[in-house]
């Protein structure tokens, strides 16, 4: 299991790293908001542990930023703050679990294993239906190999599709007959491409 630990207390971080290593975990340490964000965005981790109080920003804001960047690894918030409002804020920011200091090390290990077991399916880079390809990371759409220029609404619609795929509600790879319509809906508009005709239309939509 590969773990990213973002903790500015070097003594505590060293203890955690040593203990997790003894449990066959590969630990990468960072100590600041910016370093943690860069490492989490560019690297691949099974679990991310974030301290709430970090140089350069809070762990809450870092967790929120990582979720916006598409980082889907489970996040455990580690902090001395034990108020209910703090725990709620961490969960609302996108964290999966919350552990207050001081803690029993075996509880930390147990929580990390539990988070790893329920890790979400990795977000696909490209969702494909018939000849329509949606690049979920680059926010680009191609049909039959030709790129479709997106308006502002189209870009937002792809973002919504990206979130749906992360939640397991995205399109499946299948072989739909010609004429099937693939619809990406936002709150204010629905942009549809006909899988067989090249037709593109924009209509009002209130439901998915």
The boundaries of the domain holding residue 190 are 126-203
> Phi and psi of 60, rounded to 5°?
-60, -50
35-65 pLDDT, tens digit each: 999 999 998 899 999 999 999 999 999 999 9
Nearest CA among 102, 194, 19, 92 for reference residue 29: 19
Return the minimum-mean-pLDDT range out of 22-26, 109-113, 195-199.
195-199
Q: What is the mean pLDDT of residues 105-128?
A: 79
State which of 56, 84, 117 marks the end of a domain: 117
Quick one: 77 and 165 in the same domain? no
- Beta-bridged to residue 79, according to DSSP, are 100
What confidence category does residue 97 fall into, taking pLDDT thresholds of 50, 70 and 90? Answer: very high
73, 184, 186, 187, 197 from 205: Cα distances, Å: 32, 10, 7, 7, 22
Is 208 within the bounds of a domain?
no
pLDDT at 35: 96
- Residue where one domain finishes, among candidates 117, 139, 165: 117
- DSSP 3-state of 202: strand
Position 169 confidence tier, pLDDT thresholds 50, 70, 90: very low
Question: Whole-angstrom Cα distance, residue 109 to residue 107?
Answer: 5
Kindly state whether residue 38 falls inside one of the protein's structural domains: yes
Residues 142, 82 share a domain:
no
47 domain residue, yes or no: yes
């Amino acid at each position: 299991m590969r773990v990213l630990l973002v903790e500015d207390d070097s003594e505590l971080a060293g203890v955690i790293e040593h203990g997790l290593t003894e449990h066959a975990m590969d630990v990468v340490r960072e100590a600041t908001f910016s370093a943690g964000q860069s490492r989490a965005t560019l690297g691949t981790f099974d679990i991310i542990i974030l301290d709430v109080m970090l140089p350069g920003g809070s762990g809450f804001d870092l967790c929120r930023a990582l979720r916006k960047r598409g980082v889907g690894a489970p996040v455990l918030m580690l902090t001395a703050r034990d108020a209910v409002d703090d725990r709620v804020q961490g969960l609302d920011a996108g964290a999966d679990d919350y552990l207050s200091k001081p803690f029993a090390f075996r509880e930390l290990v147990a929580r990390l294993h539990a988070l790893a077991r329920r890790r979400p399916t990795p977000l696909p880079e490209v969702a494909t239906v018939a000849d329509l390809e949606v690049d979920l990371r680059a926010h680009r759409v191609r049909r039959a190999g030709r790129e479709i220029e997106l308006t502002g609404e189209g870009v937002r619609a792809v973002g919504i599709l990206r979130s749906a795929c992360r939640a397991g509600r995205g399109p499946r790879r299948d072989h739909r007959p010609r004429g099937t319509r693939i619809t990406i809906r936002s709150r204010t508009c629905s942009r549809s491409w006909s899988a067989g005709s090249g037709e593109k239309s924009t209509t009002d939509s209130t439901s998915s």
